[in-house]
Amino acid sequence: MNPLQRAAPVDVEALIARRPMGLSLEAPFYTDEAIYDLDLARIFGRHWLFCATEAQIPEPGDYVTMDVGPYSVILVRDEGGSIRAHHNVCRHRGARVLWDECGSVANIVCPYHQWTYRTDGTLIFAESQPPTFEMEAYGLRPVSVRTMAGLVFVHLGERPPDDFAEMAAVLESYLAPYDLRNTKVARQEEVVQEGNWKLVLENNRECRYNEASHPDLATSYFPVFGYSENDISPQLRPVFERYLVAAERLEAARAAAGFPRDERREIDTRVTGFHISHHPLDGEGSSFGPHAEPLCTRLLGSIGQPAFGDLSLKFQPNAWFHFLSDHAVLFRMLPAGPTRSVLQTTWLVHRDAVEGVDYDPEALTRSWRITNAQDTALIAKAQDGVENPAYEPGPYSLVEDDIEACIRWYVDRLTATGEDVGAAVAQYAAGL
């Protein structure tokens, strides 16, 4: 731990107030436990969080669990087919109820004394309680849940932001053609990142899959990704021309499919921030194969052709997605301490795609598994550096403007309610 934390509590309000535009955050934002708690309370306790896809829990009784700081949530499809979320804590003596990351149950049974709940959360068995015991008062505590085009979001607190429906209305038209409800999980991996969750987010929001850091993934992306015409040096000119041709081709395909065409960059303009954009890919223009070729022969939804680029969705605070013609990759990031995060990556293919026939899971997942490992190393280096007292915030470059917007959103959301810092954290810690 940086001794700053022990020497004197950080003045969170002052740090927020003096944050200058265009520079990386001061060190305590990446290292301090009090700010981490505030992040949990005000960011992860008060915003919609991406949890899973409906495709992960297709049948009644199917569930996933998700840990968010000290909280744990059960996402489950109930007997009626509805998706529910519950706090993963038994109402008897408090044991954690479900332990696996995913599974399937008839009822939800606590392993300690077999208190038994329906998948909708109602308590149906509690041993040796007196006749006055009111069963209906001891159901699993509910968590808010919303779905959008097959993506499922939860909210830990009591007053979720009211702009979810508005966001969903925008995004569903982008996502509907991929028909995510008719997909299945081809693979899933979880990687621990030894860095504060904002360093993980910044690392993602760079939007640059450059050759130095990510040579494998870089073959799919144009090395002018994120550049404007002004940034193009004579040396990059041929690549940029190739990019313009691919962009025009994608534009035509999109028009033919009646697909929304405008980028929506709502990073720092709303409570539930997001950013959706549709980019051409280099090479074959289709997917994340070594030459940007497809990795699954069965295309998703109503996408009619392989060369349909990368529909990229970034969601604040905890997810980003790539939708290709042939598969989708979903990233879910959650904090696991002031200097540790967990990144879950899920690869989806069409429900009817056959492993070993339509796709090879090793090939399908290769580029992002490698990229995740490379990012893990970079994030650890970044974390180590900001813990050094010699660190001073430095200038974001011109191609790092999405990071700046994200950080602006973050700082703004920390202060949005105007309420006292200590009160926010105490409420979170005592149960939202």
- Interface with a copy of itself in residues 166-205 (CB under 8 A): 202
Q: Which is nearer to a copy of itself, 224 or 267 (CB)?
A: 224
**Tokens 């107030």 found at:** 17
When binding is defined by CB under 8 A, the residue of 93, 237, 261, 291 that contacts a copy of itself is: 93
Shortest CB 86 distance to a copy of itself, Å: 9
When binding is defined by CB under 8 A, the residue of 6, 14, 229, 238 that contacts a copy of itself is: 6
Angle at 383 between CA 378 and CA 386, to 5 degrees: 125
Q: Which is nearer to a copy of itself, 11 or 79 (CB)?
A: 11
Residue 330 contacts residue 150 (beta carbons within 8 Å): no
Is the preceding peptide bond at 306 cis, omega within 30 degrees of 0? no
Interface stretch with a copy of itself, choices 77-85, 159-167, 248-256, 420-428 (CB under 8 A): 420-428
Q: Which is nearer to a copy of itself, 123 or 348 (CB)?
A: 123
Residue 382 contacts residue 255 (beta carbons within 8 Å): no
Using CB under 8 A as the binding rule, the residues of this chain from 355 to 394 that contact a copy of itself are: 377-378, 381-382, 384-394
Shortest CB 388 distance to a copy of itself, Å: 5
Q: Which is nearer to a copy of itself, 394 or 418 (CB)?
A: 394
| Residue-wise burial string across 145-181, b where 16 or more C-beta atoms lie within 10 A, e elsewhere | bbbbbbbbbbbbbeebbeebeebbeebeebbbbbbbb
96 lines the binding site for a copy of itself (CB under 8 A): yes
DSSP, residue by residue, 124-167: EE-TT--TT--GGGGSPPB-EEEEETTEEEEE-SSS--TTHHHH
Residue 118 CB burial class (10 angstroms; 0-12, 13-18, ≥19): middle
Q: Which is nearer to a copy of itself, 308 or 428 (CB)?
A: 428
When binding is defined by CB under 8 A, the residue of 17, 79, 82, 94 that contacts a copy of itself is: 94
Tell me, by CB under 8 A, how many residues bind a copy of itself.
Answer: 75
When binding is defined by CB under 8 A, the residue of 34, 185, 232, 257 that contacts a copy of itself is: 34
Q: Which is nearer to a copy of itself, 124 or 426 (CB)?
A: 426
Shortest CB 42 distance to a copy of itself, Å: 12
CA–CA dist 432, 426 (Å, integer): 9
CA–CA dist 365, 106 (Å, integer): 32
Interface stretch with a copy of itself, choices 31-39, 167-175, 244-252, 405-413 (CB under 8 A): 31-39
Shortest CB 111 distance to a copy of itself, Å: 6
Residue 280 CB burial class (10 angstroms; 0-12, 13-18, ≥19): buried
CA–CA dist 333, 9 (Å, integer): 28
When binding is defined by CB under 8 A, the residue of 12, 15, 16, 40 that contacts a copy of itself is: 40
Residue 97 contacts residue 111 (beta carbons within 8 Å): yes
The rounded Cα 383 to chain-centroid distance in angstroms is: 20
Using CB under 8 A as the binding rule, the residues of this chain from 289 to 308 that contact a copy of itself are: none
When binding is defined by CB under 8 A, the residue of 42, 48, 56, 69 that contacts a copy of itself is: 69
CA–CA dist 138, 126 (Å, integer): 10
41 lines the binding site for a copy of itself (CB under 8 A): yes
- According to DSSP, the β-strands at 183-193 and 151-155 are unpaired
When binding is defined by CB under 8 A, the residue of 19, 58, 72, 163 that contacts a copy of itself is: 72
Query: Mask: binding to a copy of itself, 220-249, rule CB under 8 A, as x and -?
Result: -----------x------------------
DSSP assignment letter at 341 = E
When binding is defined by CB under 8 A, the residue of 336, 370, 411, 432 that contacts a copy of itself is: 432
When binding is defined by CB under 8 A, the residue of 51, 85, 97, 281 that contacts a copy of itself is: 97
